[in-house]
Structure formats: structure tokens, C-alpha cells
């Protein structure tokens, strides 16, 4: 299946052929992570841990089950998740007095405990995160990594003395995200959601949206400012320097395995995955090109090359299987290994190694003596160019329009006066969802696509994957 012809089919096929998940598990939307897929997720998780640890967050792990009465305390929140939660009603044969639900997200598991942890201003800010599985009963068609019912979830939860400090946290989240997305070569936009599309219980929500090759948007995560919306019902209060009791202001940041889905969808091609070097299980694969009578000599040279790179902490694999090099290339291209090194007698005579990039297919000869530096430089270049290409594609696929007639299947940018009625009408006429307005703002001068009022704020629309 060709990516350009049927993106959706291509995606399903690549996930399966590259063996990232096993979808034969008998509960829909709950796929089995294979070793190869899980390694990629784990690499991203380790980046997330590094990013949040470095900014003073602490990793925690809260229980999976939440009692119904705790869940129900914040009215908007329960309304938002009502139709999506899985319930536990029995323990063995006995019905439970208080029903339990599987966390769809962990506010209601954490906040009663935060109320015990936070006592005084000295306990603030409280910055925590966890990487756990959450459960949401998706009614739409499930799709590996992109629409699942058991979610591999990252969630940070913070408490602050006041609104301003919580706002600083939101800004810090943007910065952490910027560093992470660079490693993952994922372009995105930070779009402030409309009031009718914000997270249940949030004061405002910022969506992290990327664009897939078929013109559909994919939400990679979201950042929320709660203000006191949860701290009031959950009684998370602190005593300030003057002895006054105040409610904390809270923020959250959530992401999931959709990150893996986005990497597959955005960077993959007709040959298979193309993994960014920072998350590739093997950054390098060495394929010895064996000639008759020279097998031993070439194999030994390939082993030396492998050992030298491994010592330099490059994630390298030597493919010494007894099969044709062509079949090996095919395999590693499907698996998305960023850089292949070929070594044959001709290379050895010239004192070089043949480098073959996965992302562009480009072949170059590099000096064997400086191979560690050459490899490092090449991986950095691949990473930089993968991000630049993807960002360029995304920008190319954003179309600015004045009228909502005959919209292409792209991300659409159009004028909006900010009125709720016009917003709903934009969604109806475009048959797309409003993703929101850029958090950093932008230069724009146009008219609302519905009422024609002049506006300086464009809104972004797309059909969601």
C-alpha cells in the first residue's frame, strides 16, 4: 500500500509489518505492545522523565481505581467523562458499596491526597507527574496508538500559590514540550481551545496539534489551567505568610502513545518506518558486504566497527545473519533504523565506510578513522532535517481562506470574531472542528468568516484523525 494513495490503510499496514503492536488481543482498542514498539515508547518516556525531572517535577504513582464519590466532586469533570468510564462494581461475588472506576485521567485520584499534602505556602509549588495506563471507552473506530481504550498516559499535575505562578508553569510546559518535540522531530501548534471544547473542569485548555499527511489533525496532548476549579471541591488549601487560608491554582499536562502514532504517520514512507535518531532502538545497523574468500576479514572488520561505535555509546547493531545484504536492507528499512553502514572489501581498501541514510536514501563514503564523529554528525543532521521537512510539510498543508465553501482536506486558517455563535456556525459550515487560536498570537487582519466583522485573530480548523 502506498502512503500517498491511501494513508489510512498504509498506516495500519506499516504498524503491523514493522511489528509495533499485536492487535490480536481480544479486547478492541487494547493492543499488546511488542518489544520493538515498547522500546520506542520507552525511549520517549525517558525523554519525558528527563524533561520533567530537570524542571523540579517529581514522579509519583497513584492507584488505578477511583471511588465514585471522589470522582463526582467536580461537576463538569464527571459530566465530561460520564460516557467513557469503565466501572468496577463487584469484588468477587459481592457488589461493592461504593462503585469504583478505572481512571480516565487522575485528577480525582490525586486531589483528595493533594489536600493532605499541601498545608502551607512552603509546600508550594507541588510539581508531580506520572506515567500510567488510563482507560476511556472510545466509541469511534479504534486505531493503533491513535485511538485506543487503554491509554499509555503521561500526566503532570501541579499546585501553585496563585494564578500567576500557575501561568508560569504553563509557560514552562511549553518549553519542556519544545525540547521534547525537537528530539521526536514532531512539528506542532499550540492552540487555545474554544470554551465549548476545553477539558472538563478546566479554566482553559491548550491543545498540542500536529497535522498528518492526509490533512487531518492529530492532538498529541494538552495543557490545562484549572485555576481553583478543582481545588475548591477537593479542598486543596494552604496557609500563606499572613496565616490566611487560600485555595491553590492548578495545572496539568497530558500526552500519550499518540506520539508514537505521529512519528509513524509523519515520517514513515512506502518502505516502512523512519525513526528519529533519538528514539530509534538501533540508531545504526552495520551490514557487512561479504565477498567470496574474504568473509573472515570483512566480518572481523565489521565487528571492530561495531565495538568502536558501541564503546562510544551509539546504539548500534551488527547484522551478521547469513543472508543476502539486500534482504537485510529491506528489513532494517521497514524497521526505520536511521543510518545503515555498509562495509565491504572495496570500502576497506579505500579506508572508508558507506553511510546510507534511511530518511533520504542518500549514500556517502566516510573516513573509517573518524567514524565515531562522522556517525554522530550524521545522526544530528538527520534529526535536524527530519524535523525541518516535517515542519515544512505542516506549514504547506495549512490553508488560509476567507470563505468556508469547498474547503480542501487540510488545516484551515480563517477569521473569527470570537463569538460563540459564529464559532459554532464555522464548525457546521466547514464540517470541521475548531482547534483554536495560537497561544502566542500572530499577525493577521481579516474578517470573521460568518458575520464579516473585522478581526485580528484567525482560528484553526481541521478534521480530526
- Residues forming the site for Zn ion (CB under 5 A): 417, 419, 422, 448, 450-451
Nearer to Zn ion, 371 or 422 (CB): 422
- Which SS3 state, helix, strand or coil, does residue 127 take? strand
Nearer to Zn ion, 68 or 197 (CB): 197
Neighbours of 290 (CB within 10 A): 20
Nearer to Zn ion, 170 or 448 (CB): 448
Q: How far is the CB of 419 from Zn ion (least distance, A)?
A: 5
Give the Cα separation of 312 and 134 in Å (integer): 38
Nearer to Zn ion, 422 or 438 (CB): 422
Q: How far is the CB of 457 from Zn ion (least distance, A)?
A: 11
Nearer to Zn ion, 218 or 417 (CB): 417
Give the Cα separation of 278 and 283 in Å (integer): 8
Q: How far is the CB of 436 from Zn ion (least distance, A)?
A: 16
Nearer to Zn ion, 279 or 459 (CB): 459
Contact 128, 59 (CB under 8 A): yes
First to last CA, the chain: 19
Angle between helices 258-267 and 7-17 in degrees, nearest 10? 110
Nearer to Zn ion, 203 or 414 (CB): 414
Q: How far is the CB of 409 from Zn ion (least distance, A)?
A: 24
Exposure on the CB side of residue 221, measured as CA atoms within 13 A: 25
Nearer to Zn ion, 318 or 449 (CB): 449
Q: How far is the CB of 448 from Zn ion (least distance, A)?
A: 3
Q: How far is the CB of 450 from Zn ion (least distance, A)?
A: 5
Give the Cα separation of 266 and 390 in Å (integer): 7
Q: How far is the CB of 217 from Zn ion (least distance, A)?
A: 22
Radius of gyration of the chain (CA): 25
* 230 to 225, 245, 250, 299: CA distances (angstroms): 10, 16, 8, 63
Q: Grid coordinates 467513557 are at which residue?
A: 84
Nearer to Zn ion, 251 or 455 (CB): 455
Q: How far is the CB of 46 from Zn ion (least distance, A)?
A: 46
Closest CA to 254 of 157, 188, 186: 157
Relative to beta strand 458-462, strand 433-438 is: antiparallel
Q: How far is the CB of 215 from Zn ion (least distance, A)?
A: 25
Q: Grid coordinates 457546521 are at which residue?
A: 428
Nearer to Zn ion, 367 or 420 (CB): 420
Cell output for 166: 500557575
Closest CA to 173 of 208, 198, 145: 208
Give the Cα separation of 243 and 54 in Å (integer): 32
Give the Cα separation of 11 and 9 in Å (integer): 5
Q: How far is the CB of 429 from Zn ion (least distance, A)?
A: 12
Nearer to Zn ion, 269 or 425 (CB): 425
Give the Cα separation of 257 and 219 in Å (integer): 11
Q: How far is the CB of 423 from Zn ion (least distance, A)?
A: 8
Q: Grid coordinates 465549548 are at which residue?
A: 196
Extended beta strands in 303-422, E state: 316-318, 339-344, 352-357, 363-367, 398-400, 411-415
Amino acid at each position: 500500500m502506498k502512503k500517498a494513495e491511501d494513508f489510512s490503510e498504509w498506516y495500519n499496514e506499516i504498524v503491523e509489518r514493522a511489528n509495533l503492536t499485536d492487535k490480536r488481543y481480544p479486547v478492541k482498542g487494547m493492543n499488546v505492545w511488542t518489544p520493538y514498539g515498547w522500546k520506542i515508547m520507552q525511549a520517549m518516556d525517558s525523554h519525558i522523565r528527563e524533561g520533567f525531572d530537570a524542571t523540579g517535577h517529581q514522579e509519583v504513582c497513584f492507584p488505578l481505581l477511583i471511588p465514585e464519590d471522589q470522582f463526582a466532586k467536580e461537576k463538569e469533570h464527571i459530566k465530561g467523562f460520564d460516557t467513557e468510564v469503565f466501572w468496577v462494581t463487584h469484588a468477587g461475588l459481592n457488589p461493592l458499596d461504593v462503585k469504583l472506576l478505572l481512571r480516565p485521567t487522575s485528577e480525582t485520584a490525586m486531589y483528595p491526597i493533594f489536600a493532605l499534602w499541601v498545608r502551607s505556602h512552603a509546600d508550594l509549588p507541588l510539581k508531580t507527574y506520572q506515567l500510567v495506563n488510563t482507560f476511556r471507552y472510545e466509541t469511534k473506530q479504534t486505531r493503533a496508538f491513535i485511538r485506543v481504550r487503554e491509554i499509555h498516559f503521561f500526566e503532570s499535575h501541579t499546585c501553585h500559590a496563585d494564578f500567576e505562578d500557575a501561568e508560569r508553569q504553563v509557560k514552562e510546559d511549553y518549553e519542556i514540550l519544545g525540547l521534547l518535540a525537537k528530539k521526536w522531530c514532531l512539528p506542532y501548534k499550540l492552540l487555545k481551545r474554544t470554551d465549548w471544547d476545553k477539558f472538563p473542569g478546566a479554566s482553559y485548555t491548550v491543545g498540542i496539534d500536529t497535522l498528518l499527511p492526509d490533512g487531518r489533525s492529530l492532538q498529541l496532548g494538552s495543557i490545562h489551567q484549572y485555576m481553583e476549579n478543582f481545588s475548591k471541591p477537593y479542598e486543596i488549601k494552604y496557609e500563606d505568610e499572613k496565616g490566611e487560608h487560600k485555595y491553590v491554582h492548578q495545572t496539568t499536562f497530558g500526552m500519550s502513545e499518540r506520539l508514537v502514532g505521529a512519528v509513524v504517520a509523519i515520517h514513515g514512507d512506502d518502505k516502512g518506518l523512519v525513526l528519529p535518531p533519538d528514539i530509534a532502538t538501533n540508531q545504526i545497523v552495520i551490514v557487512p558486504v561479504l565477498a567470496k574468500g574474504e568473509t573472515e576479514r570483512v566480518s572481523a572488520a565489521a565487528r571492530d566497527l561495531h565495538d568502536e561505535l558501541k564503546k562510544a555509546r551509539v546504539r548500534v547493531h551488527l547484522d551478521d545473519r547469513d543472508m543476502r545484504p539486500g534482504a537485510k536492507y529491506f528489513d532494517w528499512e521497514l524497521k526505520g533504523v536511521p543510518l545503515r553502514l555498509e562495509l565491504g572489501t572495496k570500502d576497506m581498501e579505500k579506508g572508508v565506510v558507506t553511510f546510507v541514510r534511511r530518511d533520504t536514501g542518500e549514500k556517502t563514503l566516510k573516513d573509517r578513522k573518524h567514524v565515531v564523529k562522522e556517525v554522530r554528525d550524521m545522526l544530528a543532521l538527520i534529526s535536524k532535517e527530519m524535523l525541518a521537512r516535517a515542519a515544512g510539510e505542516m506549514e504547506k498543508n495549512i490553508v488560509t481562506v476567507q470563505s468556508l465553501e469547498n474547503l480542501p482536506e487540510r488545516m484551515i486558517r480563517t477569521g473569527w470574531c470570537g463569538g460563540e455563535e459564529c464559532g459554532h456556525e464555522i464548525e457546521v459550515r466547514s464540517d470541521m472542528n475548531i482547534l483554536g487560536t495560537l497561544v502566542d498570537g500572530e499577525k493577521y487582519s481579516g474578517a470573521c468568516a460568518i458575520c464579516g466583522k473585522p478581526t485580528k485573530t484567525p482560528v484553526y480548523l481541521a478534521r480530526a484523525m
